[in-house]
């Protein structure tokens, strides 16, 4: 049974989300601020976190940065439209996705299922053996769920891994943000495709010698992103 942590100081929101998620068979824990969330994460096995941004004692941004020091569980930020700058900060600190308030319970459920499915696969619980992918100096081992650059392992988040894997499986093909989000998340972005640019930037910072002049993860202006694989090279 998957264990989901809802971190929100609005008890009505936490109660409603918990009710819908429990109806799908998930185990639910709740926290009203970031400090409580961190305590739960350090003592319980949590598979996904729904994290509000504005909370007392410790906000969702600070909590996400802290939890990324010891947990790779997916984090979905719960944001208001007025918090656009904050949600970008959240993605920079390691969040995987965001949902803008007000949101429909069905939308939350779809996002939760999508991230849990990918997290389970990357955690090796249900992942089939699909071999390895190599593009230039980047190698992805889908059995070990590792990414290496020139033989050195690179620490990537589950979402970064999924984006990189998809692009490595489809080299030299251009995908706009909406198409890439749909392919990786397995659903329509519903306005959240802006998160793709942040994850691509993080991958560049980890995999490119010069992120501003990338060899692999490139932007085709006005069209989208691609992972470039030169002809005649792996």
Residues 164-204 have pLDDT tens digits of 999 998 989 999 999 999 888 888 878 777 889 999 999 99
Question: Which CATH number goes with the domain that contains 160?
Answer: 1.10.10.10
11-42 tens-digit pLDDT: 988 998 999 998 888 889 999 999 999 999 98
**pTM score above 0.75:** no
Tokens of 108: 């939350």
Is the pLDDT reported for residue 128 higher than 70?
Answer: no
Tokens of 174: 């251009």
Report the distance separating Cα 224 and Cα 115, nearest Å. Answer: 23
Which residue range is the domain that position 221 belongs to?
132-227
Contact between residue 227 and residue 217 where contact means Cβ atoms under 8 Å apart: yes
**Same domain for 212 and 192:** yes
**Same domain for 157 and 106:** no
**Same domain for 202 and 148:** yes
Residue 139 domain-assigned (yes or no):
yes
CA distances (Å), origin 182, targets 18, 106, 201: 26, 17, 18
Based on the structure, what is the number of domains in the chain? 2
**Same domain for 115 and 17:** yes
What is the layout of strands, in order, in the sheet containing 152-154?
132-135, 138-141, 146-149, 152-154
**Same domain for 113 and 137:** no
Residue 232 domain-assigned (yes or no):
no
**Same domain for 110 and 26:** yes
**Same domain for 145 and 203:** yes
**Same domain for 104 and 85:** yes
**Same domain for 106 and 32:** yes
Residue 234 domain-assigned (yes or no):
no
Residue 233 domain-assigned (yes or no):
no
**Same domain for 158 and 95:** no
């Amino acid at each position: 049974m998957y264990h989901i942590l809802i971190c929100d100081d609005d008890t009505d929101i936490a109660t409603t989300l918990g009710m819908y998620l429990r109806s799908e068979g998930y185990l639910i824990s709740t926290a009203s601020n970031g400090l409580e969330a961190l305590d739960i994460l350090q003592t319980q096995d949590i598979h996904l976190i729904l994290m509000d941004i504005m909370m007392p004692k410790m906000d969702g941004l600070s909590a996400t940065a802290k939890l990324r020091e010891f947990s790779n569980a997916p984090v979905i930020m719960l944001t208001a439209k007025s918090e656009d700058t904050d949600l970008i900060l959240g993605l920079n600190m390691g969040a995987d996705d965001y949902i803008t308030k007000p949101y429909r319970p069905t939308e939350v459920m779809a996002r939760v299922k999508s991230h849990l499915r990918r997290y389970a696969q990357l955690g090796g619980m249900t992942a089939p053996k699909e071999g390895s992918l190599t593009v230039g100096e980047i190698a992805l081992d889908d059995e070990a769920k590792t990414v290496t650059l020139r033989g050195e392992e690179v620490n990537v988040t589950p979402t970064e891994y999924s984006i990189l894997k998809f692009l490595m499986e489809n080299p030299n093909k251009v995908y706009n943000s909406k198409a890439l989000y749909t392919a990786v998340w397995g659903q329509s972005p519903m306005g959240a495709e802006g998160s793709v640019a942040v994850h691509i930037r993080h991958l560049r910072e980890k995999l490119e010698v010069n992120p501003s002049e990338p060899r692999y993860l490139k932007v085709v202006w006005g069209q989208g992103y691609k992972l470039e694989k030169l002809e005649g090279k792996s």
